[in-house]
Amino acid sequence: MFLHIQFESEVPIYQQIKNQIIRGIALGELKLGEDLPSVRQLASDIGINFHTVNKVYNQLKQEGWVVIHRKSGVMINPELKVEKTPEYIEGLEELLKTVTAEAYLRGVTKEEFIQWIENNYAGYPLREGE
Amino acid sequence: MFLHIQFESEVPIYQQIKNQIIRGIALGELKLGEDLPSVRQLASDIGINFHTVNKVYNQLKQEGWVVIHRKSGVMINPELKVEKTPEYIEGLEELLKTVTAEAYLRGVTKEEFIQWIENNYAGYPLREGE
Amino acid sequence: MFLHIQFESEVPIYQQIKNQIIRGIALGELKLGEDLPSVRQLASDIGINFHTVNKVYNQLKQEGWVVIHRKSGVMINPELKVEKTPEYIEGLEELLKTVTAEAYLRGVTKEEFIQWIENNYAGYPLREGE
Amino acid sequence: MFLHIQFESEVPIYQQIKNQIIRGIALGELKLGEDLPSVRQLASDIGINFHTVNKVYNQLKQEGWVVIHRKSGVMINPELKVEKTPEYIEGLEELLKTVTAEAYLRGVTKEEFIQWIENNYAGYPLREGE
DNA sequence: GTGGTCTAGACCACA
DNA sequence: GTGGTCTAGACCACC
């Protein structure tokens, strides 16, 4: 697995795992329909308790990223269709207002900032029809 | 004061206040050297415990955003010079990787995303020498 | 066979099979005395482990829905007479309390709800003597 | 608190609590905006572990039934607006097909069944405009 | 083997 | 005081 967990981080472990799985999907490292390790396997790989992984998988399921089969475990939702809801957009805009404000004051130029966005998007496979 | 606190938010109240003060500085709504309300005043305005505001002011001071005078209270640091440290940059890049990944998967286009950045930066007054 | 199994469902596979067989009886699609596929046949059709089908047939037998002959396999109980026990009624009432509460809160009107009941019952052949 | 938990039931404890809270909202026993006991308080009242209650509250929050304030604990969402989504309707219709089929075969008449629905709905306060 | 549930106890962040 | 996180270990249902 490709996960790198920072145990000393303020960000909860389960959140880091969630983030990296979603990032893995965006980058195409995790294909739709691909199996994820079992809760106990992944927990053992990372060296954490399986309940923590369980929490991750359950939240990912709630939000539609993965499906949990009765027996075969967890896989990336083959019919992934997470939505650009107004709530999501609102939260994102709010976040960006905060982030850009501090970045600006710390001397990050608009060009630098946009370059990062460009770089990230460059790593994501194009959508159908684009 | 221009603060809007969402008590039901996941974001801690003290964090919301910090964010909005920093945003206020970036937007020029709070001038360098401008006085902030007293701890008790602001706490009363928002309707929260003054310990929370105290925490905010202390953290803002630690990070160099404000200076605290014994008598005159708290003011925006007239010689504001927060730094673009490597740690800050690293954290920001990490954050953007996570945020853009989910945004991409939810159907936010690169252009949309960049437009928000542009819009935000457009609201920030240019620095001296720019 | 008319079974549609949703492997990603929360409902256990064996439960889905049971439900659909009972529904088939109610709708008259499965006649009393009619043979059901063999354990291995049905398991193979659905693509599941035959132990699962075994479990279903045994439970159906326990509850009186089917009879199992040594040679001829499993058939719908020709003298089907499942009972309206107090325990069953109690469980059903309890279930309906929960279901109607959420339905009401989600905006399902009483009329809508009753219409579904009517529609379902309309599909069930009348019993002898009615 | 008005909760009655059946520890010997097949239904998980956390599910029973969820059901009864939702039922309480529908019946008007729990008003919108009303505080729920703290996780530890409720757990102690029922005689279970607080993690179980925590799970309930988190799921109720995810589904929009309650809001969790940082300090004041959990309250029924004052702006409760759970939706009659197509997925919900589909699941409900599926459930009713299964339930009515067995009920019919066990001798529950349509009239009986509908009477229960009527009785339940009779306990729910009328919506605005009705 | 898989995930789901429940218990128990610890520590932390927040207000 | 509140909820949030993490650990640890048990037992169960399902397949």
Q: Which residues of A74-85 are buried (b: 16+ CB within 10 A; e: fewer)?
A: bbbbeeeebeee
- Does A17 share its domain with A42? yes
Q: Name the nucleotide nearest D36; use CA and C1'.
A: F2
**Is B4 within a domain?**
no
Question: How many structural domains are present in chain D?
Answer: 2
* Residue listed under structure tokens 């069930």: C124
Task: Spell out a b/e string for D42-68, using b for 16 or more CB atoms within 10 Å of the CB, else e.
Answer: bbeebebeeebbbbbbbbbeeeebbbb
**Domain co-membership, C43 together with C25:** yes
For residues C32 and C59, membership in a common domain is answered with yes
Contact C22 D99 (CB under 8 A): no
Divide the 130 residues of chain B into consecutive groups of 10 and give the mean pLDDT of each group. 83 95 95 92 90 94 90 88 92 96 97 97 75
DSSP letter (8 states) at residue D60: H
Q: Which residue is nearest to nucleotide F2 (CA to C1')?
A: D71
If asked whether residues B50 and B105 sit together in one domain, one would say no
C-alpha span between A15 and A13 (Å, rounded): 5
C45-96 pLDDT, tens per residue? 998 999 999 999 999 999 999 998 877 789 999 999 899 999 999 999 999 9
**D107 assigned to some structural domain:** yes
D24 inside domain: yes
Chain centre to alpha carbon of residue B53? 14
The domain spanning residue D60 has which CATH number? 1.10.10.10
Whether residues C13 and A68 touch (CB distance < 8 A) is answered with no
Please check whether residues B32 and B55 belong to one and the same domain: yes
E strand or H helix at D6, and its extent? none
Residue C2 confidence class, pLDDT cut points 50, 70, 90: confident
Domain residues for the domain of B94 are: 86-122
D72 with D94, same domain: the answer is no
How much is the pLDDT for B129? 47
How far does the CA of residue D61 sit from the closest CA of chain B (Å)?
Answer: 11
Q: Is the CB of D15 under 7 A from strand E?
A: yes
Q: What is the pLDDT of residues A24-53, one digit of tens each?
A: 999 999 999 999 999 999 999 999 999 999
Q: Is B112 domain-assigned?
A: yes
Q: Do C64 and C106 fall into the same domain? A: no
Per-residue model confidence as pLDDT tens digits over D73-123: 899 999 999 999 999 999 999 999 999 999 999 999 999 999 999 999 999
Do C98 and C116 reside in the same domain of the chain? yes
Contact C76, C32 (CB under 8 A): yes
Q: Supply the DSSP string of A35-52, one letter for each residue.
A: BPPPHHHHHHHHTS-HHH
Residue nearest E1, CA–C1′ metric: A71
- Asked whether residue D128 is assigned to any structural domain, the reply reads no
| Tokens at D76, concatenated | 């029924």
3+ Cβ–Cβ pairs closer than 8 Å linking C and B: no
D113 contacts C121? CB cut-off 8 A: yes
Residues 45-104 of chain A with CB under 7 A from strand E are 51, 54, 57-58, 68, 71, 73-74
Q: Is C81 within the bounds of a domain?
A: no
